[in-house]
Amino acid sequence: METEKQRYQPASRRFNRLPEEPPRSDFLWCLICERAYPRNDATLDEVQLCPYDDGCKGSLVFYSWDWNRTRRVNRGYPREPHLGTVYPLFGRGDGFR
């Protein structure tokens, strides 16, 4: 009688490669205010927050994406973001906040 262990054949399973993440960018994008900023500007008073000082309190740990990841979702966004420009996650952003 075959047991579960004997029937399990992982070598017979074929998986496609996982999608590769694009290389890291010099910029991060904040999910809260939807603006990008240089990766090295992501600290404020020893706390890792979005550097925009107009009330955004986006945590670097929970609310920042690498700019290349944001561009992967929005193919029309520039290779290097313009500081202060709002880049909505789902659609082209042209405004300022």
Domain that holds residue 67: 22-91
* pLDDT tier, 95 (very low <50, low <70, confident <90, very high otherwise): very low
Whether 3 is in a domain gets the answer no
The answer to whether residue 71 sits within a structural domain is yes
Confidence check: pLDDT of 18 > 60: no
Read off the tokens for 38.
Answer: 């240089």
Q: Indicate whether 5 pLDDT > 70.
A: no
The pTM of this model reads 0.67
Is 61 inside any structural domain?
yes
pLDDT at 92 over 50: yes
Q: What gap in Å lies between CA 26 and CA 81, rounded to an integer?
A: 10
Edge-to-edge order in the sheet of strand 27-30: 36-38, 27-30, 64-66
* Euclidean distance between CA atoms 39 and 86, whole angstroms: 17
Number of domains composing the chain? 1
Residue 16 in domain: no
- pLDDT confidence of residue 96: 41
Is residue 4, in this structure, part of any structural domain at all? no
